[in-house]
Structure 1
């Protein structure tokens, strides 16, 4: 999907989200680009899922092209987001990129894991999903779960949250090494 198609997809989604089901179907039927129609239908389905986990965001990951993502990541290294300076990429998923960042300013400094919503995934549905994830993390208190430390918006409007940084092997890699399943 080209950047222009993605912009059209977001535009169409934001229009259709306000319409009834019948009006949506009629408007989508008039869309000449099948790729845009399919992407909008997936976004509408994700938006219709009330539960945070009903529609895995990984199902929508194809909307983000990896070459664009790599350029985006390069633009964040060394950049200041809130009180944090981005050091390096730690990982990425369907809707966000996680960086190691250093909190600087004030009376102390601290390394954190900074999760930032990907550019292009900032539709209404994805913003709600991101906020929901942040709220879920805020409510969790367990010694084996990284604590939510902070949250906010970048200067260019992307939401982020900062988590306790835990060094170690990623869980998915550990499970593969040990031949464990991930439920």
Structure 2
């Protein structure tokens, strides 16, 4: 599979809700899980065929869900297509589901079903989450190449070499992708200590 062309990234527009991903025809959008105004942003560069990303996915989801609006997750594609033959087509399939508003459902499902990412499986996953399976693979999915390319280019500029790579408020995160470590890095361990026990 040919390497992605590294081009200019337009980040002037972002998603306006945790589930909204906008139109692909004229804008490149971010995929955000959590409160849009969260003071802490965890940025992940991930690959849907990477086993370490699959292990990280539920941890990052739990981090956001238990943060009470403090942490949001931004996911960007960084398919390691030279070692993961299905990574790029999987990324395109997940991007296609944004049109149905089920990006995160497809994102989570692919990490759970990582053992099978061929075209037939991707169509089935899209259908399972309520998206149009005809957009998930083949020529229709090519319209989402600019999004994947821009994510990849942004990662290259930030020095990403593998997946998952995380940044916490633009600072590289070098610890294990474990809940306690991420709580410390995002300041959640301190905020949890200050909260009443019945709100934890």
Query: TM-score, structure 2 length as denominator?
Result: 0.26
For the pair shown, the structure with the greater C-alpha radius of gyration is 1
Q: Which has the higher strand share?
A: 1
Structure scoring higher RCO (CA < 8 A, sep ≥ 6) equals 2
Query: TM-score, structure 1 length as denominator?
Result: 0.28
